[in-house]
Homo-oligomer: A and B are copies of this chain.
């Protein structure tokens, strides 16, 4: 390889996995129908269910969450369904395209991509269109680093007897979000972000109401990677797999979920939040702007920073990589070129990495000619840490 390995990866995902996950990935590959693996698979599923705080057994799909969301759309959305898609970012907008393949009609509420969905607008939509059957929303629209008020939206959706599909891929396990308390019917996430695992699997929680809807959907895929129904019972050690599960990924997930439960979810969320808070303080102290319109909607798992005028995002990424070996993410689609994303997920959701981020971003900007007070940034970041850990 012409390029050296990065020194520290602070991307918006895939993120560096915990060492314990790396070890779990290296376990012997077992035959999927050997009883030992069947029992392991069931045990992993139970632990994932517990971590999801889900009332129904977790659903594991053997592809990463983007196709997992495609499969969810294909399985859930029937030809008679009116879908309300809430778009506050690139991923939210994108889900509408999948939805449109299957639904009867697509309604959409769209807000600027540095904003969050207003629950009142969802309430208004239901008033106008009581035939809305499914509401889809991204909890953390990663390309914007912003959080939608899914719990508030969920209550409205349930009140109107519709189903809510939530993309919580890059927020779950990094903050307090779960399917039950958010009234999510299809809750989609994965191990490759805040859980500090490897990408390559989708984790879902599907409510009984959503299962019923799918079972009634005449177009719901079967004998297909797009099928959720195929895998509904596959977690039981006495049920067959629709196709070969990704054994190594299951091993890795087992490692990741054990670490999460052992550390304690509340402790994990707390260090994600503190890292993001320290990072935002440092960013602002360097005279940079957060992408999020308001700090309250800035994600605790990813900080999006507006690219200063006259500077190219790719130059910033390259300078950070060259000077410090530190890797950030650029924007995606509409946000590409406009922001830089600093991930706080899994093992790098530790306050010291906020300092690393502030330094590398600030130093890169300074290198590119922008007057940037890196020292002020670090001082502000450490002040936050200092106060929180008094």
Contacts and interface: CB of A to CB of B under 8 A. Distances in A.
B350 A7 contact: yes
Given A1-B43, A352-B359, A64 B246 contact: yes
A351 interface: yes
Given A13-B244, A322-B389, A329 B359 contact: no
A377 B374 CA distance: 10
A141 to B, nearest CB: 16
A385 interface: yes
Contact of A321 (B35, B40, B247): B35
Interface in A335-358: 350-352, 355-356
Q: Which of A11, A26, A192, A198 has the most CB of B within 10 A?
A: A26
Copies in the complex: 4
B1 A247 contact: no
Contact of A16 (B25, B29, B367): B29
Interface stretch (A80-88, A147-155, A218-226, A288-296): A218-226
B379 A36 contact: no
A381 B57 CA distance: 46
Contact of A29 (B17, B39, B356, B385): B17
Given A25-B248, A378-B374, A30 B1 contact: no
Interface string A370-390: 000111111100100110010
Given A200-B200, A223-B97, A356-B352, A385 B324 contact: yes
Contacts of A67: 62-63, 224-225, 243
Interface in A92-126: 97-98
A285 to B, nearest CB: 9
Interface in A36-61: 36, 39-40, 43
Contacts of A367: 386
Contacts of A6: 30-31, 34, 36
Given A3-B39, A323-B389, 10 more contacts: A11-B33, A14-B32, A23-B26, A29-B198, A33-B329, A35-B321, A66-B244, A246-B249, A363-B385, A375-B376
Q: What is the interface residue range for chain A against chain B?
A: 35 or more
A96 to B, nearest CB: 12
Q: Which of A2, A249, A252 lies at the interface centre, i.e. has the most chain B CB atoms within 10 A of its CB? A: A249
A3 B36 contact: yes
A352 B35 CA distance: 19
A366 B323 CA distance: 28
B225 A226 contact: yes
Interface in A193-248: 198-200, 223-226, 243-248
Contacts of A137: none
A360 interface: yes
B1 A40 contact: yes
Contacts of A180: none
Given A70-B225, A374-B382, A375-B375, A14 B1 contact: no
A34 B62 contact: no
A5 interface: yes
Contacts of A14: 29-32, 244, 247
A28 interface: yes
